[in-house]
């Protein structure tokens, strides 16, 4: 099967969904006086988390927030016939959880994360009438919508920010597992740092897990002890340990210059230390928006089964969170210059480490 791979602007999808919903409300065959609102209430969506859990303050949490937003917009409640999620304690739960939600008659079921590729593929084959979507991987099935992000573009900006803000010229990157999606984070980050100052040393470490905060803390401790002053993590729940280590250092030595760059969602609150904060910024990956977009398309009869949808910087699918004053205006202006060059195509960010 030939895949169609394309960038999808979020605003265009939202606009199209609004038009389709409006048209549905004028349909004379619709016996409901509520029009599109009733259509939404007849549509249900659920998701299966990977091992990070729904409250990982990162990837899974962003997806669930998107599902909650969709539910709120459509008047859906948590549970059968509305919105819901199942958490996976291990990869052995993926197939069971997906199958459970399909059998509960959810109209659309999301598998959150690259690690669920095999399980989504298997359930798609077993349940050809089910509508499935996977985040961060491609499943070549006609009833699966595959969603990817250009993590390398947002991570490039994170690298620029780190390179412009480091004092020690030592920066760290903590990855969860060495899989393509995390390698895109690493590749973009390294390119962003190099674009500003090739002499900066970047210590790259992989934890091999997305749900071990204690391991993230240990890795961060080694990095900060070696002189690293800014760490970018792309490690899900493991990254919470990076924040824990930075906050501990800041608590013991308030004058310490240590920062963390968060991932996926705005992790500013995770960096709070009394009246200060160790979050420099966060590389936003708008999984929440993607979940809303795909859900709206499916609800309106436009489910992109068999297609791969890619969200990049130009589509507002990735970017940096508000630094809340941690990054000075002159540095922010320089970051914006790089952002414009990426969005315009002047700079092409590699997906793999060169």
- Domain containing 37 equals 5-149+286-311
Match 């052995």 to its residue by tokens: 92
317 in any annotated domain: no
The token pair that represents 182 in the structure block: 């995390």
pLDDT in tens, 231-273: 999 999 999 999 999 999 999 999 999 999 999 989 999 999 9
168 in any annotated domain: yes
280 plus 237 within the same structural domain: yes
51 neighbors 91 (Cβ within 8 angstroms): yes
164 plus 196 within the same structural domain: yes
Burial class (CB in 10 A: 0-12, 13-18, 19+), 122: middle
What backbone phi and psi angles, to 5 degrees, belong to 313?
-65, -40
299 in any annotated domain: yes
Looking up residue 170, the CATH number of its domain turns out to be: 3.40.50.2300
36 plus 159 within the same structural domain: no
301 plus 235 within the same structural domain: no
Instruction: Give every CB contact of residue 13 below 8 A, 6+ residues apart in sequence.
Output: 293, 296, 297
**pLDDT tops 60 at residue 8:** no
The token pair that represents 135 in the structure block: 């985040």
Rg (CA), the chain: 21
67 in any annotated domain: yes
Q: Residue 27's pLDDT band (boundaries 50, 70, 90)?
A: very low
131 in any annotated domain: yes
When pLDDT is averaged across residues 104-132 and rounded to a whole number, the result is 97
93 plus 220 within the same structural domain: no
192 plus 307 within the same structural domain: no
160 plus 277 within the same structural domain: yes
285 neighbors 151 (Cβ within 8 angstroms): yes
pLDDT in tens, 190-228: 999 999 999 999 999 999 999 899 999 999 999 999 999
Determine the pLDDT at residue 319: 95
pLDDT in tens, 307-340: 999 999 988 899 999 999 999 999 999 999 999 9
Percent of the chain with pLDDT over 90: 83
Give the integer Cα–Cα distance in Å for 165 and 122. Answer: 46
Task: Write the CA distances from 173 to 58, 133, 251, 343, integer angstroms.
Answer: 16, 29, 22, 24
349 in any annotated domain: no
Number of structural domains (the chain) is 2
Q: Residue 36's pLDDT band (boundaries 50, 70, 90)?
A: very low
Q: Residue 28's pLDDT band (boundaries 50, 70, 90)?
A: very low
The token pair that represents 336 in the structure block: 């914006």
36 neighbors 300 (Cβ within 8 angstroms): no
179 plus 243 within the same structural domain: yes
179 plus 251 within the same structural domain: yes
110 DSSP β-pair partners: 47, 133
68 plus 106 within the same structural domain: yes
333 plus 304 within the same structural domain: no
When pLDDT is averaged across residues 143-170 and rounded to a whole number, the result is 98
318 in any annotated domain: no
176 neighbors 238 (Cβ within 8 angstroms): yes
298 plus 273 within the same structural domain: no
87 in any annotated domain: yes
When pLDDT is averaged across residues 336-350 and rounded to a whole number, the result is 96
**pLDDT tops 70 at residue 22:** no
Match 């038009």 to its residue by tokens: 19
pTM, entire model = 0.83
């Amino acid at each position: 099967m030939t895949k169609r791979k394309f960038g999808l602007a979020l605003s265009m999808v939202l606009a199209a969904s609004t038009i389709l919903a409006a048209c549905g409300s004028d349909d004379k065959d619709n016996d409901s006086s509520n029009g599109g609102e009733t259509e939404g209430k007849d549509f249900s969506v659920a998701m299966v988390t990977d091992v990070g859990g729904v409250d990982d303050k990162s990837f899974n949490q962003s997806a669930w927030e998107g599902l909650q937003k969709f539910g709120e917009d459509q008047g859906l409640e948590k549970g059968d016939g509305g919105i819901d999620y199942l958490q996976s304690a291990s990869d052995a739960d993926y197939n069971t959880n997906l199958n459970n939600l399909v059998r509960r008659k959810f109209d659309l079921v999301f598998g959150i994360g690259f690690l669920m590729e095999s399980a989504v593929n298997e359930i798609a084959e077993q349940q050809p009438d089910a509508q499935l979507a996977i985040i961060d991987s491609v499943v070549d099935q006609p009833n699966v919508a595959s969603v990817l992000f250009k993590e390398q573009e947002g991570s490039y900006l994170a690298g620029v920010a780190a390179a412009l803000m480091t004092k020690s010229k030592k920066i760290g990157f903590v990855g969860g597992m060495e899989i393509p999606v995390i390698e895109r984070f690493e590749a973009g980050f390294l390119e962003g740092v190099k674009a500003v100052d090739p002499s900066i040393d970047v210590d790259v470490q992989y934890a091999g897990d997305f749900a071990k905060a204690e391991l993230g803390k240990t890795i961060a401790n080694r990095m900060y002890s070696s002189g690293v002053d800014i760490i970018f993590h792309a490690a899900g729940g493991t990254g919470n340990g990076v924040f824990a280590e930075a906050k501990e250092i800041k608590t013991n030595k308030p004058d310490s210059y240590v920062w963390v760059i968060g991932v996926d969602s705005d992790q500013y609150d995770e960096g709070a230390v009394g009246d200060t904060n160790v979050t420099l910024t966060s590389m936003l990956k708008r999984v929440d928006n993607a979940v809303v977009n795909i859900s709206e398309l499916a609800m309106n009869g436009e489910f992109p089964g068999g297609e791969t949808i890619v969200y990049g910087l130009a589509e507002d699918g990735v970017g940096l969170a508000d630094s809340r004053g941690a990054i000075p205006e002159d540095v922010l202006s320089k970051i914006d210059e790089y952002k414009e060059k990426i969005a315009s195509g002047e700079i092409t960010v590699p997906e793999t480490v060169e």
